[in-house]
Structure 1
């Protein structure tokens, strides 16, 4: 590294810039926007990171960051700090942030899961939600529609549709809506209004990281029905793919954790796999406009090891399951895979309220049973309501 570069200790000296709140890289870096009071004037800097082992600092690690300019999905210019040896998380964070911008995800505070009474009892007793493999979903054909759309516009030979048709995807989903009381959803998923709607706090992630994982194998996002927005997302991802190849051309060769050389050519091959995986994930949130009244929100767990194995080496993949085919994961299964923290694994589901369907018989008896289950399973401040929808 150039010894003349400015050196900083970002973690202890910087906080996320509130003015430029689209910085989804590391929250304790200087703001990447030029001339921002929360940033630095230099276009490159070296940051120090401490590696801690057995509660002791074992060594100091240097990272080189470079200011990069790119277009947002609305064609406004934005900036990030790109770490020289770690392009992929930066690109991934840009895509997720820009899709959230165009999808107006930040204005939704609650999501609702429509289900039968017996399923509610199981959820409360187990403190778990089930995420089912996409081919077992009743509307799995909608994922195919998303992949068909991408195959029409893809000029970069990413060829993700081939993977779908070879049934080599590994997506697990559970579905919500941001419609608090919907007759159609009560009929379809709550036993013709004899079940319930469970309200969840969709902002719970802010402090507890419940709905998302840092490496974005776990995502919560509204389904996208508008075909113009779908096309815009596809076009934007293709734009970023081309940008990322240029950034690789401008960078130096890097090394993996085993100190093996990763050439620019190799990184470009891997970036194709990375974008293929990222597009697979996004396309799973595309759905035909005729379903728009459902206002669906999907919680997606993507178990796909191709990129991890290709870039980091197969021996590093700690998330591999047994090779048997799984048809579902529970939220606890996933939390255990993504975090070693028992506190996160044992987090209570962020339930805000439970609304009984209009056609439930013996409502007072059912309400007493739900109250007992809430109390016995340590759920606090959960409101119980009865739907006001006429049936």
Structure 2
């Protein structure tokens, strides 16, 4: 191949590609084979190095340790657990605690984020400035600072159990929030069935009302029927089959409360910190999405006699969701990953009790880290799949 300095750049690149064999030639195949061999060699060296280190430290590899007794207690467990249970049980306890705080934080952060975004876009000067101050203050401080602030400066400064703050049958102190615990009764099944039927019927009625509004321009008032379905049906089942549960009210005995359920302060601090911090980012995402919709949409809706709230809910926000969903999904993924900071305050999430305590006791670093990595990857993929499905449904309803 003869190359002269005067050859155009595209012609030079084409001749060079043809000289190396092109996309399917021997040159390209040789480069790919060389790259694959390098990857295999690196993987072999890593495995050999790990095996040598394990043999030196006399650590047995494998997942058999999951059947061994854990020997330590956990401060919060959604399933029955004692120190005599296995490490598999510890894993399930930590996983459920992580899912619990992630789901609650996502729901609260979404509500706060949308409210703050609408507040920043409000024509009211005071509301707009307060919402803007919230965003600028919260998102410019590290999440760990929020976590330590709520845990050390707020919750740990609360009074002792004997001087608890009474809140409608619940008691708040530095050991957490003690609330009445529901005890199931025979009428619980009928109550749950009535509640599910009422919610499903309410959603169907709402869908019918929106379809009627967009196709025929007829607006019907649905909230009285929704209240009747969601509240009336469960109340009717209670009158027919009895109360679904009774409340076990906590009682102060000695230096602590007996009965009821206790929400540990670590859960409260982590939930509040994650929710408020994530909400500041969601607020900016929602505000940017709303501003991406042409202002003529708002003017056209108000010219039809709709209120500002109705225009936002029915016209602007549905169109803005196409812009909002991708970065919103990213924030949801961050919530589950940021929950690992729970180790700073002792909340027993998956990272704390499994990748922390279990790892220090067993020394099975590779296995435990692989399981932990797989769990967080699975949670992220499930969250992404749910949001992708919602975006697909939204795209079908809005059209091209």
For the aligned pair, the TM-score class normalised by the smaller chain equals under 0.3
Q: TM-score, normalised by structure 2?
A: 0.24
Instruction: Please say which structure displays the higher CA radius of gyration.
Output: 2
Name the one with the larger strand percent. Answer: 1
Q: TM-score, normalised by structure 1?
A: 0.24
